Amino acid sequence: MKLRRSFFARSVHDVAPELVGATLLVDGVGGRIVEVEAYHHEDPAAHSFGGRRTVRNASMFGPPGHAYVYRSYGIHWCLNFVCEEGSAVLIRALEPSHGLDTMAARRGTDEPRLLAAGPGRLTQALGIAGEHDGLPLDHPPFALYAAGDAEVEVGPRIGITKAAELPWRYAEAGSRFVSRPLGSRRSS
DNA sequence: CCTGTGATCGTCT
DNA sequence: GACGATCACAGGT
């Protein structure tokens, strides 16, 4: 079942766990989302913190159901799904199932676990870059299908220094394709 | 298993 | 001028 834009017009804390197990394809390449994180405007770790709009975070304040793509550490791209105003879900990892050869070529590895385990790896495998910022998620090149049954685990987010203790990371229990097991200490 | 470090640059102060 | 919602690799335990 395809996800409609209205799916995203809710609290990011409701949407994020429901995205675990959903299928994300970009031009037919992708797989099952197994790890996400929630960010919103009252969250010190979020780009939208305090409701401050900038050129970079404009998409976060745009309509729900669109992509927010930004550059991380000057090197990588990160993909988010915009929810209610000023909130978004960071897509951190997926289990590759469609277009494995394309992902392997883009990533420079055949190791399935390394194709899309981490937000930077995922965007590289799916061919996501700055031109995808602001695009609607219910139109090509995106295709999103609702999750079936998925057991979701919760834990602290990764790689942040502010509000690092908040348990707003959601992952599929037992998945080998997450960027890092829940409950482990290291941030990469 | 773990920790440390360099790469690299746009964004915000 | 400082700092990342990261990754790959090196080296020690």
Q: Give the model confidence (pLDDT) of A41-69 as tens digits.
A: 999 999 999 999 999 999 999 999 999 99
Dist CA A81 CA A38 (whole Å): 10
Amino acid whose CA is nearest the C1' of C4:
A73
Domain A5-186 has CATH 3.30.360.10: no
Q: What are A86-132's pLDDT values in tens digits?
A: 999 999 999 999 999 999 999 999 999 999 999 999 999 999 999 99
CB A170 within 8 A of CB A153: yes
Protein CB footprint (7 Å) on chain B nucleotides: 2-5, 7-13
Query: Nearest 5°: CA angle at A43, between A31 and A65?
Result: 40
Q: Is the CB of A131 under 7 A from strand B?
A: no
Q: Which residues on adjacent β-strands are paired with residue A145? A: A2, A23
Nearest nt to the CA of A88 via C1' is C5
Q: Which two tokens stand for residue A177?
A: 């394709």
Write down the pTM of the prediction.
Answer: 0.96
CA A37 to chain centre: 7
